Chain A
């Protein structure tokens, strides 16, 4: 390089540097809309609002342990659902449980909160009517409350960002320390009240007074339970000392009171009612219950997340992952939601109201022997593979596909093996036996396309003895591709609010006990129960477990009541093996064996998991939750 060339380069560089202030570089980006233009137009606000709703941390069909809206172009999560981290279900193959990195929402929540705060800043400047402004204020408060609720139930006390922050060159000034857990819950309820005061009382797909009451009912019950049951899992450390996690037991009273009043507002609103409250018989009740979720356009729904179009970020994947193998329609990975025997046991039987009714398989009545089939034991013989569930709560029939029941007009075959005439058994081993010119197969049929249970082929067959029905679309064949399901998800429905009320009354010991018992029994009547049961803590919890199964409520019930670490201490979940009993030939008979879920390990919930780890403490300077 000659000197000349070098000086030319320097000249050129300095020319560029010094001319940087020229207007030619002050171009407005053409791929972004400036705030004034967006918020200056009411239509722009609507668009912005749609984006905020999309970000709401709703634990719906696209909620997964890695986050929300898990329906991108390739949402392959192996068909794992949050229910599989509870006692509701297991996956056909995975044994995953609650890990440190699971079920977090820190960054997505604060992103949403910032987006809402920007809108709140803009509301006073909008050229719209005052009532429209009030509605936007209320809607913003609702969305913000939803985000802080998601944070509080995972992290305890968090940084409360009340208004939008502006960066002025000093990063330190943007850091907001964590509030106490109590302050955070109080803030959630305060935002709910703001929403209630500003929102209208229509019922639509957007936030209303009623959705705000519903959120308040759920959040207040959560907070009250933490205060009441926190002592079941004591913790220590810096976060505890600063009250960033944990609340005094005395705080429970006010939270239960808040839950009761918010729930009552909804129960007495005259706008919501249970779907099909008086079924003719259990079979009708089971079908009603199924319909409630397949098409949530009914008056029980307070708030739903709608799905309209298939496609990336539009549809979801419940149908491809969870419908039984026989109806896979070319999709290679069906059948992954396996409801457990533990859940099935919880449902009442019509002849023993008010009690869980575990499935009894043998004449000795022993329901705790999980050691497998024994020829010496006398098993009760049944005429069909589902007779054993005949008297069980209709909601079991509406939630799970039971062996040899019809789905899309096909009998779903779930069989684990057979007992030979000599009393020896073939279980979960691909085999067949010829007797009197008829061939009997382990899995109830000859080929993998003809059954849906126990064969490990493809990980497509249930290993608990139950397949999945709730939320499944019965009306259309499976479309074998990503994000093709458009069934809506009910976030809040009246039955949950009624059970919130019942729980708040029974746990606080105050309130209208007669009404609480009535609403709980109304829900049972809808499931074809005819005998009322008394309002007790156990009855309310069983009712929640069966009525709200798979709605991603069980996880939080175990968390907020601090029951996870005792329910899951080396917990083995269980399966029910239906076996064809060939000793009974020529009669057709089946027996059942209670066993540990095959190929699985025990699960233990670590008490530290009651709070999730806060990310980025190295830079945000926040106090970490204990033991992370």
Chain B
């Protein structure tokens, strides 16, 4: 009986050790990274970290057409360093710039792909300063499409990735009209009225954004500034 037990055990062990052999594929070795750049100013196009621009990639050679999504970082760069080398269809979607066409990309090793795009709105001449018990932002807007500007906003958060979807406090104005390129827009956050969320003595990030009125469009931004309040 004891012998049987050993035989059984040895067999089970042998089966257990060997069974994994056949499906041990290599891990992903390739990757795709790059930047979203303003076609005119050559600057990076700022994004949201959540609900921001995404890049859909569809790997060729499979029946499934379900895309994988790459998230674009707040500064307008993106990277996925763990992809399988293959041919992909790459499409940036739901962005804050004029839609761009899909392209077929051979991803081999760490591949770089930059997108030169036209942002819906250029937020310009931004100044965000603390003035008394308020944080005041002034800026100009230059829009590149004829749509209305839906809203403009000043957003505050303790994290540098602050934006419309990620804020502790927002001060917004619904414009619902085309913007005036010569007008200086002003937004304020009253620190005293938000003392429960923006605690005096701490540092917070402030960022201005403008949202075009187009389906699934995301806001355009300038980099956040950090203020001591």
**A interface residues, Cβ below 8 angstroms from B:** 234-238, 369-372, 569-570, 596, 604, 606-607, 617-618, 624, 627
Which of A235, A236, A370, A604 contacts B196 (CB under 8 A)?
A370
Instruction: Assess whether B165 is interfacial by the CB under 8 Å rule.
Output: yes
Q: A369-B193, A372-B196, A596-B196 are in contact. Are A234 and B165 (CB under 8 A)?
A: no
- A-B contacts counted at CB < 8 A amount to 31
A238 to B89, CA, bound (A): 14
A618 to B215, CA, bound (A): 29
A-B contact pairs, 30 of them (CB 8 A): A234-B215, A234-B216, A235-B215, A235-B216, A236-B93, A236-B94, A236-B215, A236-B216, A237-B93, A238-B65, A369-B193, A370-B196, A371-B193, A371-B195, A371-B196, A372-B196, A569-B165, A570-B165, A570-B167, A570-B170, A596-B196, A604-B51, A604-B165, A606-B51, A607-B216, A617-B64, A617-B66, A618-B64, A624-B66, A627-B69
Instruction: Assess whether B131 is interfacial by the CB under 8 Å rule.
Output: no
Q: Within 8 Å CB of B165, what residues of A? A: 569-570, 604
Q: Within 8 Å CB of B195, what residues of A? A: 371
Instruction: Assess whether B194 is interfacial by the CB under 8 Å rule.
Output: yes
Task: List CB contacts (< 8 Å) of B149-197 with chain A.
Answer: 165, 167, 170, 193-196
A618 to B93, CA, bound (A): 23
Q: Within 8 Å CB of A235, what residues of B? A: 215-216
Given contact pairs A604-B51, A607-B216, A617-B66, a sample of 12 additional A-B residue pairs in the complex whose CB atoms are under 8 Å apart: A234-B216, A235-B215, A235-B216, A236-B215, A238-B65, A370-B196, A371-B193, A371-B194, A371-B196, A606-B51, A617-B64, A618-B64
- B64, B69, B94, B165 — most chain A CB neighbours (10 Å): B94
Shortest CB distance A362–B (Å): 14
**For chain B, what secondary structure do more than half of its interface residues adopt (helix, strand, loop), or is it mixed?**
loop
Q: Within 8 Å CB of B196, what residues of A? A: 370-372, 596
A235 to B214, CA, bound (A): 11
0/1 per residue, B122-159, Cβ < 8 Å to A? Answer: 00000000000000000000000000000000000000
Shortest CB distance B99–A (Å): 9
Question: Nearest 5 CB-CB pairs, A to B?
Answer: A234-B215, A371-B196, A371-B195, A372-B196, A234-B216
Shortest CB distance B22–A (Å): 22
A617 to B170, CA, bound (A): 39
Q: A369 — nearest CB in chain B belongs to which residue?
A: B193
Q: B99 — nearest CB in chain A belongs to which residue?
A: A236
A238 to B56, CA, bound (A): 12
A171 to B118, CA, bound (A): 48
Shortest CB distance A538–B (Å): 18
Q: Within 8 Å CB of A596, what residues of B? A: 196
Q: Within 8 Å CB of B93, what residues of A? A: 236-237
Q: A627 — nearest CB in chain B belongs to which residue?
A: B69
Q: Within 8 Å CB of B51, what residues of A? A: 604, 606
A607 to B216, CA, bound (A): 9
A238 to B102, CA, bound (A): 14
- A369, A370, A627 — most chain B CB neighbours (10 Å): A627
A530 to B195, CA, bound (A): 43
Q: Within 8 Å CB of A371, what residues of B? A: 193-196
0/1 per residue, B42-56, Cβ < 8 Å to A? Answer: 000000000100000
A506 to B196, CA, bound (A): 41
Task: List CB contacts (< 8 Å) of B36-80 with chain A.
Answer: 51, 64-66, 69
A311 to B181, CA, bound (A): 69
A606 to B165, CA, bound (A): 10
Q: A595 — nearest CB in chain B belongs to which residue?
A: B196
Q: Within 8 Å CB of B216, what residues of A? A: 234-236, 607
A369 to B195, CA, bound (A): 10
A624 to B56, CA, bound (A): 14
A215 to B141, CA, bound (A): 50
Task: List CB contacts (< 8 Å) of B175-229 with chain A.
Answer: 193-196, 215-216
A237 to B194, CA, bound (A): 40
Q: Within 8 Å CB of A236, what residues of B? A: 93-94, 215-216
Q: B51 — nearest CB in chain A belongs to which residue?
A: A606
Shortest CB distance B59–A (Å): 14
Shortest CB distance B225–A (Å): 20
Shortest CB distance A528–B (Å): 37
A539 to B62, CA, bound (A): 53
A372 to B216, CA, bound (A): 37
Shortest CB distance B116–A (Å): 22
A624 to B66, CA, bound (A): 8
Q: A621 — nearest CB in chain B belongs to which residue?
A: B63
Q: Within 8 Å CB of B64, what residues of A? A: 617-618
Shortest CB distance A236–B (Å): 6
Q: Within 8 Å CB of A604, what residues of B? A: 51, 165
Q: B155 — nearest CB in chain A belongs to which residue?
A: A570
Shortest CB distance B40–A (Å): 26
Q: A234 — nearest CB in chain B belongs to which residue?
A: B215
A398 to B69, CA, bound (A): 48
Q: Within 8 Å CB of A569, what residues of B? A: 165
Q: Within 8 Å CB of A234, what residues of B? A: 215-216
Q: Within 8 Å CB of B167, what residues of A? A: 570
A237 to B193, CA, bound (A): 42
A369 to B69, CA, bound (A): 40
Task: List CB contacts (< 8 Å) of B91-134 with chain A.
Answer: 93-94
Q: B165 — nearest CB in chain A belongs to which residue?
A: A604
Q: Within 8 Å CB of A370, what residues of B? A: 196
A526 to B69, CA, bound (A): 53
Q: Within 8 Å CB of A606, what residues of B? A: 51
A238 to B215, CA, bound (A): 16
Shortest CB distance A405–B (Å): 29
Q: B166 — nearest CB in chain A belongs to which residue?
A: A570
Q: A624 — nearest CB in chain B belongs to which residue?
A: B66
Q: B65 — nearest CB in chain A belongs to which residue?
A: A238
